[in-house]
């Protein structure tokens, strides 16, 4: 397909706990040339992960050229990776599931592919992606929440990604909603993530079954409750299972409590929720919005729309491209 | 005292639930010409409160002129008032304890004193005051928390006061820290304010006494526990009373939990705590910092200093002057 002369393009990389996704977009976001996804293999080691990222980038560049672009038009690579990061130095400080410590990911990628690279937090990228081309378009103060293995978050304040004093900003999943509550993987007690991440939802479903509640969930996992996942719970809830519906309703209450906190403190105009949890649909979103209304100040509730993300699977890549634009070109 | 020719000055007004404070500062904040405080009389009505504010402003202007200034050098009046506000239109939407509804305070003050006026939330003003001339000086991302009858908050992001989408931002006191917790005055359950405001601290102390714990608190209130206040609890704690020490320690834990949430989500470089609670001193601040360390991410903890305010009684006025500068002159 022939391109407008002079149209540049940017590569986005989303290094997630489940998938590595790499794609390329025109500078204005109007054209998606290529998008590839491969599962992240836990414990394959830093070198193997980098090799795979580089090979996926090469493939995406080749596909982009097949789509009528030229290599010279490639401005660079935006990378989104799990935190904590030292964004200024382009370093991944630690990623438990990839085994990285103080890994200079930005420089390594730039050297290996011969292009300028930027690095930002994956949850920040997902938020910026939804703001640039997805469900949060037009927002000025935007909170993104990505619910999967963990709960990540990103903040856009007055139209710019906000990183805070040491790149930690947006860790919404580690907001305490119950001061004496459940132990969280982070070591704290009562974090939102300990109630409403995918694994926490599955855990609460196992507890709700309690060994004696009739439920289709048993059948759906062949009576092996260790196979229970949040996705299976949403599916059972849609089919009317009482235990699953109760778990989804409680999830909505916990998430609604966390979001009410965000509304009262940050007063955003958009909250965009992404990740597997959006599959739960109305049985989650309706009580979630009700809980927020019940808990947050009216002017904050009235000013804010709470929406599911509209770029499932690709928000991270789109946002990685957008962070490249914001960091290198100064604007999205 | 003779002034540098051309030095302008600005009036600040802090309309609080307990006191009305009015003062005047040189434009650069280097000189305080006058500062007056009078108790706020509940239910005296909007007209009487406005009359008193205007009369205090007149007195402060006269004192400023006595100090060598001229009326022509007065740039205007910054007003801080309890929210919720419509800042753009200069309107106080509602203040339960003054009985105001949709009151155009900014215009009324401007008309009555014949000077340009601005309006902002009192907690925002207190935060900006501590940032401009107090304990939060030099911070870039600052959270102010004022603990008194309620718990108010203000956010400075990237060097500017942050208001959010509808002027609600910074309502830190109404962050849920216990999803099934105590009923709060706002109608919600488990708000930080329901545990750590002045009246909540007194209430928890009454519960801790439980009718049978030996404590000097009984004596300090002449056995009339309705007279118990947070200030009396701090005083007893300093004198070694076990019940009071326990209440202060728990207060530190609740406040530390709320602040850990703020650190994880907003990653500030300074948190400044103001209000009566700062009288509790080390018995509060030491366990509070410990609780924050225990709950928040290490890079967020390392990046942030948590300090008591250094402008007791006047932060609101100083900040009202600073908001006037930020709104009218574009810079502080």
Chain B's closest residue to A260, CA to CA, is B175
* Closest A-chain CA to B299: A166
CA distance B232 to B250: 16
Interchain CB distance below 8 Å, A176 and B260: yes
Determine whether the interchain pair B263/A168 forms a contact, defined as Cβ–Cβ distance below 8 Å. yes
- Interchain CB distance below 8 Å, A165 and B269: yes
For B140, which residue in chain A has the nearest alpha carbon? Answer: A165
Task: Determine the distance in angstroms separating the CA of A276 from the nearest CA of chain B, rounded to an integer.
Answer: 22
Chain B residues closer than 8 Å to A185 by CB: none
Report chain B residues whose CB lies below 8 A from the CB of A96: none
Cα distance from N-terminal residue to C-terminal residue, chain B: 25
Are B254 and A179 in contact (CB < 8 Å)?
A: yes
The CA distance from B153 to B310, in Å, is 16
Residue A5 pLDDT > 70, yes or no? no
Domains with residue ranges and CATH for chain A: 9-129+314-329 (3.30.420.40), 138-308 (3.30.420.40)
The more confident residue out of A97 and A167 is A167
Whether residues A176 and B174 touch (CB distance < 8 A) is answered with no
Tell me which chain B residue has its CA closest to the CA of residue A143: B265
Kindly identify which residue of chain A lies nearest to residue B180, measuring between CA atoms.
A178
pLDDT on residue B3 = 52
**Rounded average pLDDT over A40-52:** 83
Chain A residues closer than 8 Å to B192 by CB: none
Q: Which residues in B lie closer than 8 A to residue A179 (C-beta atoms)? A: 177-178, 181, 253-254, 257
Contact A178 B174 (CB under 8 A): no
Instruction: For residue A219, count CB atoms less than 10 angstroms from its CB and return exposed for 0-12, middle for 13-18, buried for 19 or more.
Output: exposed
Residues from chain A that touch B294, judged by Cβ atoms under 8 A, are 188
Contacts of A261 in chain B (CB under 8 A): 175-176, 261
> Helix crossing, B122-133 with B315-324: angle to 10°?
90
Are B10 and B69 in contact by the 8 Å Cβ rule? The answer is: no
| Yes or no, beta carbons of B267 and A158 under 8 Å apart | no
pLDDT at A118: 98
pLDDT at A46: 79
Nearest to A35 by CA among A318, A327, A287, A239: A318
Overall average pLDDT of the A141-151 stretch: 93
Cα angle, residue B327 at apex, residues B76 and B113 outer, rounded to 5°: 20
What is the DSSP annotation of A65-104? Answer: HHTT--GGGEEEEEEEE-S-EETTTTEEEEETTTTEEEE-
- B84, B165, B263 ranked by CB distance to A268: nearest: B165
Residue A281 CA: distances (Å) to CA of A142, A285, A305, A308, B256:
21, 6, 16, 9, 35
pLDDT digits (tens, 9 = 90+) for A6-28: 699 999 999 987 789 999 999 99
Chain A residues within an 8 Å CB radius of B155: 265
Q: Do the chains contact at B266 and A164, CB–CB below 8 Å?
A: yes
Residue in A170, A189, A264 nearest the CB of B168: A264
Which tokens go with A332? 């999205």
User: How far is the alpha carbon of A231 from chain B, nearest alpha carbon, in Å?
Assistant: 25
Over residues B291-306, the pLDDT tens digits come to 999 999 999 999 999 9
Q: Is the pLDDT of residue A40 over 70?
A: yes
B-chain CB neighbours of A300 within 8 Å are 164-166, 168, 171
Per-residue pLDDT of chain B (332 residues; tens, 9 = 90+): 455 556 999 999 999 877 899 999 999 999 999 999 999 886 777 788 999 999 999 999 999 999 999 999 999 999 999 878 899 999 998 876 677 889 999 999 999 999 999 999 999 999 999 999 999 999 999 999 999 888 999 999 999 999 999 999 999 999 999 999 999 988 899 999 999 999 999 999 999 998 778 999 999 999 999 999 999 999 999 999 999 999 999 999 999 999 999 999 999 999 999 988 888 889 899 999 999 999 999 999 999 999 999 999 999 999 999 999 999 998 88
When scoring A294, A295, A301 by the number of chain B Cβ atoms within 10 A, the one with the most, hence best to mutate, is A295
Whether the pLDDT of residue A41 is over 90: the answer is: no
How many other CB atoms sit within 10 Å of the CB of residue A86?
17
Chains A & B: contacts with CB separation below 8 Å: 152
Shortest alpha-carbon distance between residue A297 and chain B (Å): 8
pLDDT tens figures, A66-112: 999 999 999 999 999 987 889 999 999 887 667 788 999 999 999 99
* Spatial CA neighbour of A110 closest among A46, A179, A62, A57: A57
Contacts of B269 in chain A (CB under 8 A): 165
Two structure tokens written together for A248: 């989804």
Chain B residue with minimal CA distance to A302? B166
CA–CA min distance B3, chain A (Å): 40
Asked if residue B240 has a cis previous peptide bond (ω within 30° of 0), the answer is: no
Of the candidates B168, B179, B267, which has its C-beta nearest A267's C-beta? B168
Nearest CA in chain A to B160: A158
- Residues A166, B253: C-beta atoms closer than 8 Å: no
Cβ-defined contact of B169 to A262 (cutoff 8 Å): no
How confident is the model over A286-299, as a mean pLDDT?
Answer: 96
Q: What is the ipTM of this complex?
A: 0.91
The pair of three-digit structure tokens given for residue B212, joined into one six-digit string: 């049978």
Instruction: Look over chain A and give the mean of its residue pLDDT values, rounded to a whole number.
Output: 93
- Residues in B closer than 8 angstroms to A176, CB to CB, are 177, 257, 260-261, 295
Cβ–Cβ < 8 Å for B77, B117: yes
């Amino acid at each position: 397909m022939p391109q407008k002369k002079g149209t540049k393009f940017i590569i986005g990389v989303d290094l997630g706990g489940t998938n590595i996704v790499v794609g390329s977009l025109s500078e204005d976001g109007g054209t998606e040339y290529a998008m590839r996804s491969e599962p992240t293999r836990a414990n394959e080691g830093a070198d193997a992960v980098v090799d795979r990222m580089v090979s996926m980038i090469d493939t995406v560049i080749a596909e982009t050229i097949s789509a009528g672009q030229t290599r010279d038009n490639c401005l660079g690579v935006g990378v989104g990776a799990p935190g904590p990061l030292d964004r200024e130095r382009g370093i991944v400080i630690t990623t438990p599931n990839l085994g990285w410590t103080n890994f200079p990911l930005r420089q390594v990628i730039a050297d290996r592919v011969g292009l300028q690279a930027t690095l930002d937090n994956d949850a920040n990228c997902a938020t910026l992606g939804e703001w640039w081309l997805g469900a949060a378009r037009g927002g000025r103060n935007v909170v993104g929440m990505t619910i999967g293995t963990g709960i990540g978050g990103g903040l856009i304040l007055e139209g710019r990604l906000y990183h805070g004093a040491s790149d930690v900003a947006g860790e919404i999943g580690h907001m305490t909603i119950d001061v004496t509550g459940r132990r969280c993987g982070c070591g704290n007690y009562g974090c939102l993530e300990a109630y409403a991440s995918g694994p926490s939802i599955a855990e609460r479903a196992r507890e709700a079954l309690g060994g004696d509640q009739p439920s289709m969930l048993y059948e759906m996992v062949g009576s092996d409750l260790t196979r229970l996942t949040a996705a299976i719970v949403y599916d059972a809830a849609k089919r009317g299972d009482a235990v699953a519906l109760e778990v989804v309703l409680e999830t909505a209450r916990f998430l609604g409590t966390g979001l009410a906190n965000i509304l009262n403190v940050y007063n955003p105009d958009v909250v965009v929720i992404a990740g597997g949890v959006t599959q739960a649909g109305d049985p989650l979103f309706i009580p979630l919005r009700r809980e927020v209304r019940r808990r947050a100040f009216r002017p904050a509730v009235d000013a804010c729309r709470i929406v599911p993300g509209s770029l499932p699977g690709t928000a991270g890549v789109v946002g990685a491209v957008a962070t490249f634009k914001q960091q290198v070109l100064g604007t999205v």
